[in-house]
């Protein structure tokens, strides 16, 4: 039997899409899906029969036979839900794998779990790669952005497969590159998702300001977003939001039928936790995460809306659409700055040596946060890692700062909750203020806890305590 050159385990939505992408790129595949009587039976072979692209693929529901069907060193992509199920499959495979074999985890696993698995497989002389895969079902089928980490010497064993199926940047290069050791690949995927949360929240807040603050209809908002797409603000998320605005159900807008309780699968909270552990203020990502949590208290919000008889300011006709566009533009830049700051801190802490220009490059296509802005960041990130310190960005933020402040006022005046816009404005002010009010915090800490403070007139003289009373 001719051995397959690449194996894939887990034929869910993403696994099936990636399998078709791999097959379309000419790879001979072995596909495995577990057998669960009455739930998942003959999944692999049924899938193979469903599409002519898979005519040369082999299907299995027996793990040992699946592994035996692969040429050595085996390259196996796991598309399994992050967590214990992944560890269970790895443990089932180890007895039938051999030294030098490669397991790639393409799920949204936690980067610390990935480091543990790399060490575990290394003890069996095997390679483990934690790889972010971004782009959803469509991206997986047509070309995702792929973020493989793990040992550098492992990447050449799998690069031809991953780079073949990855999306391509504007020069035709694969949106896939070796990210860094340990869990670096999954770490940047996590940050990608964090930036995604804030990008999505900004669009939601913009929608709220226009719909409930400015009285615009979803069709009118779609038109406004469409104009912005042509004004340098093009992004995948804004593009899909235009389609969402226009989606009708009978004669009504579908958006009005969607319950306003946001879910999440965890990557946004992981990003917030990682930022807290590294001491990095990803204030927009955290604002977006907590906005999702707040939305989940729907029943309480309904009760509270009746309990509080606020004086409503009514529709703020003062929302200037051009100012909203300018505010949205710089809020996104601040979001990206915070995300790259977090990756810089992690890279320094773990000594990963991340290449931020390359990260931006592989995020210019295939992934959920692909955008004109990401394209603009690739070149300057070669020399400046702090996005807000890039000359082009300083000029833009100086020009648009007033607009951001006016949008915050419009939000307050129209009773619109805008946590992400507010976080952006606050961060910008803090980031650019030579004098903050943290001296009060230091004084209070020294007052009640004798935690001491440094002096402005002699910061190098060490720490001081005052008997305050
Ligand atoms: C991607 C997406 C993908 C998934 C998110 C959803 O990059 O392709 O981000 O990873 O859709 O996990 O995350 P939430 O359910 O937390 O919004």
Q: What is the band of 309 on the pLDDT scale with cuts at 50, 70, 90?
A: confident
Q: Quick: pLDDT tens for 35-92.
A: 989 888 999 999 999 999 999 999 999 999 999 999 999 999 999 998 999 999 999 9
Kindly report which listed range (8-22, 134-148, 314-328) carries the lowest average pLDDT score: 314-328
Q: State the architecture of 6-182 in CATH terms.
A: 3-Layer(aba) Sandwich (3.40)
Give the pair of three-digit tokens for residue 429: 């002010």
311 is catalytic: no
Ligand 1 pocket residue status of 193, Cβ below 6 Å: yes
> Is 317's pLDDT higher than 70?
no
150: phi then psi, degrees, rounded to nearest 5: 90, -165
Atom 10 in ligand 1: residue holding the nearest Cα: 134
234: CA distance to ligand 1 center in Å? 20
261: CA distance to ligand 1 center in Å? 16
Q: What is the mean pLDDT of the chain?
A: 95
| 67 CB-side CA count, 13 A | 15
Ligand 1 pocket residue status of 81, Cβ below 6 Å: no
Q: Which residue of the set 196, 248, 298, 300 is catalytic?
A: 196
Domain with CATH 1.10.1040.10 in the chain: 188-431
> What per-residue confidence (pLDDT) applies to 258?
97
> What per-residue confidence (pLDDT) applies to 315?
52
Atom 12 in ligand 1: residue holding the nearest Cα: 265
Q: Where are the beta strands (DSSP E) in 1-94?
A: 6-9, 29-32, 58-60, 75-78
DSSP 139-178: HHHH--EEEEBS-GGGHHHHHHHHHHHS-B-TTS-BSB--
Q: Quick: pLDDT tens for 357-385.
A: 999 999 999 999 999 999 999 999 999 99
CA 4 – CA 58 distance, rounded (Å): 8
Ligand 1 atom at shortest distance from the alpha carbon of 266: 16
Say if residues 287 and 419 touch (Cβ distance below 8 Å): yes
Give the pair of three-digit tokens for residue 10: 């887990």
DSSP 112-138: HHHHHHHHHHHTTT-EEEEEEEESHHH
Ligand 1 pocket residue status of 114, Cβ below 6 Å: no
CA 220 – CA 153 distance, rounded (Å): 53
Ligand 1 pocket residue status of 268, Cβ below 6 Å: yes
Domain with CATH 1.20.5.320 in the chain: 439-469
Q: Quick: pLDDT tens for 65-76.
A: 999 999 999 999
> Is 215's pLDDT higher than 80?
yes
Going from the C-alpha of 162 to that of each of 82, 117, 406, the distances in angstroms are 20, 20, 46
Choose which residue among 136, 141, 240, 290 to substitute to test ligand 1 binding: the one with the highest number of ligand atoms within 8 A of its C-beta.
136
Q: What is the band of 460 on the pLDDT scale with cuts at 50, 70, 90?
A: confident
Q: What is the band of 459 on the pLDDT scale with cuts at 50, 70, 90?
A: confident
393: CA distance to ligand 1 center in Å? 28
Average pLDDT (180-199) is 98
CATH code for the domain defined by 439-469: 1.20.5.320
Q: Can you name the residues that pair with 158 across neighbouring β-strands?
A: none
Q: Tell the residue number behind the tokens 């030098």, with chain if given.
A: 100
267: phi then psi, degrees, rounded to nearest 5: -65, -30
Cβ neighbors of 15 (< 8 A, separation 6 or more) are 8, 9, 33, 79
Q: Going by DSSP bridges, is the β-strand pair 6-9/29-32 parallel, antiparallel, or unpaired?
A: parallel
> What per-residue confidence (pLDDT) applies to 198?
98
> What per-residue confidence (pLDDT) applies to 314?
56
Domain with CATH 3.40.50.720 in the chain: 6-182
CATH 1.10.1040.10 fits domain 188-431? yes
Say if residues 132 and 186 touch (Cβ distance below 8 Å): yes
> What per-residue confidence (pLDDT) applies to 197?
98
> What per-residue confidence (pLDDT) applies to 312?
66
> What per-residue confidence (pLDDT) applies to 191?
98
Q: Quick: pLDDT tens for 130-160.
A: 999 999 999 999 999 999 999 999 999 999 9
Q: What is the band of 415 on the pLDDT scale with cuts at 50, 70, 90?
A: confident
> What per-residue confidence (pLDDT) applies to 32?
96
189 is catalytic: yes
> Is 214's pLDDT higher than 90?
no
Choose which residue among 368, 369, 374 to substitute to test ligand 1 binding: the one with the highest number of ligand atoms within 8 A of its C-beta.
368
CA 183 – CA 175 distance, rounded (Å): 19
């Amino acid at each position: 039997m001719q051995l397959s050159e690449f194996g894939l385990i887990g034929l869910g939505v993403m696994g099936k899409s990636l399998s078709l992408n791999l097959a379309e790129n000419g790879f001979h595949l072995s596909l495995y899906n577990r057998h669960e009587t009455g739930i998942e039976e003959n999944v692999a072979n049924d899938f193979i029969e469903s599409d002519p692209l898979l005519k040369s693929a082999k299907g299995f529901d027996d793990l040992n036979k699946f592994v035996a069907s692969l040429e050595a060193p085996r390259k196996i992509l796991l598309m399994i839900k992050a967590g214990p199920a992944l560890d269970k499959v790895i443990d089932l495979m180890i007895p039938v794998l051999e030294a030098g074999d490669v397991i790639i985890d393409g799920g949204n696993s936690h980067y610390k779990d990935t480091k543990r698995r790399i060490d575990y497989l290394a003890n069996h002389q095997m390679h483990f790669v934690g790889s972010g895969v971004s782009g959803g079902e469509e991206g997986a089928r047509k070309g995702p952005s792929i973020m493989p980490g793990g040992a550098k010497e492992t990447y050449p064993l799998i690069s031809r497969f991953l780079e073949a199926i990855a999306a391509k940047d504007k020069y035709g290069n694969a949106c896939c590159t070796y990210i860094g050791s340990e869990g670096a690949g999954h770490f940047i995927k996590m940050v990608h998702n964090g930036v995604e949360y804030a990008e999505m929240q900004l669009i939601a807040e913009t929608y709220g300001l226009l719909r409930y603050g400015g009285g615009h209809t979803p069709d009118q908002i779609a038109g406004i977003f469409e104009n912005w797409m042509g004004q340098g603000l093009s992004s995948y998320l804004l593009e899909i939001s235009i389609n969402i605005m226009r989606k009708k159900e009978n004669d009504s807008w579908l958006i009005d039928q969607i319950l306003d309780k946001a879910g999440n699968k965890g990557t946004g909270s992981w990003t917030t936790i990682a930022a807290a552990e590294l001491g990095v203020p990803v204030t927009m990502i955290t604002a977006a995460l907590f906005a999702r949590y707040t939305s989940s208290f729907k029943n309480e919000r309904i009760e509270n809306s009746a309990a509080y008889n606020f004086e409503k300011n009514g529709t703020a006709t003062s929302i200037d659409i051009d100012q909203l566009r300018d505010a949205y533009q710089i809020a996104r830049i601040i979001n990206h700055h915070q995300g790259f700051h977090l990756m810089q801190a992690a890279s320094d802490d773990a000594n990963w040596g991340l290449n931020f220009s390359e990260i931006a490059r592989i995020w210019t296509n295939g992934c959920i946060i692909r955008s004109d802005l990401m394209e603009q960041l690739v070149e300057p990130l070669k020399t400046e890692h702090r996005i807000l310190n890039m000359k082009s960005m300083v000029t833009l933020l100086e020009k648009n700062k007033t607009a951001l402040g006016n949008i915050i006022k419009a939000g307050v005046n129209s009773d619109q909750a805008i946590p992400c816009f507010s976080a952006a404005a606050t961060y910008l002010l803090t980031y650019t203020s030579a004098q903050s009010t943290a001296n009060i915090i230091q004084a209070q800490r020294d007052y009640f806890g004798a935690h001491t403070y440094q002096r402005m007139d002699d910061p190098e003289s060490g720490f001081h305590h005052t008997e305050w009373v």
